[in-house]
Amino acid sequence: MDGVPPIEKVGKLPSHCVWVPNRRNMKHKCFKVQLGLPQRKKKSALELQILSWSPFENTGYAVAWSGEQASVYAWDKKLLEKVIKKNGYTNMEIVPEAFLKAKGKDGARLLNTNDGFEAQLWNNGVLKASRWWETPPNSAAWLLFTRSVGGDISDHAPPPEKLQFLDFPWHITQYADDILMYLLKNSKLVAIFFVILAMPLAYLMAQTIAYNTLTYQLQKKISDKEQDSLGIRLDRRGAIKTLTEVNSLISLQKFPHQIQIFSEAHKITNPYSLTFSEWNYNSGELEFSINSESGVDTRVLIAAFENHSLFSSVRASTRGNRTIIKMNIQNITQSMKIKNEF
């Protein structure tokens, strides 16, 4: 199998399943791009350098940036995809083993990799050079490596180090968009992200549904109340209409009804034990005769009628033993109207 079987790293940050290719099938080089380029142009400039350097027709690569320096592992993309597919996997993230092992201190070191031994030269946290052997390098091989990469020249290789895989590949922590693209390939993290995103949306939807439900219930109650009060409002409207008609009819009369006039006259004469013998009324003029067994002072009677707002120009005369009272009826129709209390 060309590469380490897929491993799923679970650590401080959740990751997805990655494929670690064999070191023997990769090339390494440290590039430097022009200082001060924007991030996108920096990546484009690096890609041009990689494509001109790579021996593969279809190149795949992984980059660890450090300022303007880029430590690059390249591989035959088409060939590696066939290997991955042959092993029953698709769309695997490819991560060089060096990017899943702890960074080295300044100087050269020798690592025991999954398919052999890799010499690395580190400087200020940058992997400057790398070389692979199937077996531990001898003195001549190590001397050639240290001379060619510009490190401290030595013909004595250090003992190989067997390092554990890290929880998270360190090369993708250089730029935010690299981290984002890496994390988006993690189905678990994407699922968590969508759950977190869906929670406030679900809350807002629930609030909207609750608000619409309450609005509907309130409108229904208002409609029911309006329906219940329809009869009352119709009755009120009819009463107002009837009252208006009554007042219109009353306004046609200049004087009160005779029943009212008689009632008021009776109230005035009742204390004097008088009886009416005749009653004549015609358009605001009233004449009636009264009888009294004990007699009555007509001056007192005239004053009593004059003090009433309904009567005016009260006068008295006698015919035999009868007392005749004449008076005018005031035009007070408006004051006698039924008041609208609705």
pLDDT of 53-72, one tens digit each?
999 999 999 999 999 999 99
Residue 327 confidence (pLDDT) above 50: yes
Domain parsing of the chain, residue ranges: 4-166+174-184, 192-247, 258-336
Residue 186 confidence (pLDDT) above 60: no
pTM passes above 0.85: no
Average pLDDT over residues 113-126: 94
CB 11 within 8 A of CB 170: no
Give the lowest-confidence range in 228-237, 289-298, 321-330.
Answer: 289-298
- CB count, 10 Å around CB of 305? 21
- Residue whose pair of structure tokens reads 């924007």 in the numeric block: 38
CB 42 within 8 A of CB 77: no
- CB count, 10 Å around CB of 60? 18
Supply the pLDDT for residue 241: 84
Taking all residues of the chain, what is their mean pLDDT, rounded to a whole number? 82
Cα-Cα end-to-end distance for the chain:
99
pLDDT higher for 86 or 176? 86
CATH dotted code for 258-336: 3.30.1360
pLDDT of 206-261, one tens digit each?
888 888 888 888 888 888 787 878 888 888 888 888 888 777 766 666 777 888 88
Interacting residues of 192 by C-beta distance below 8 A, sequence separation 6+: 14
- Residue whose pair of structure tokens reads 């306004």 in the numeric block: 251
Separation CA 136–CA 145 (nearest Å): 13
Residue 1 confidence (pLDDT) above 70: no
DSSP 93: E
Supply the pLDDT for residue 270: 83
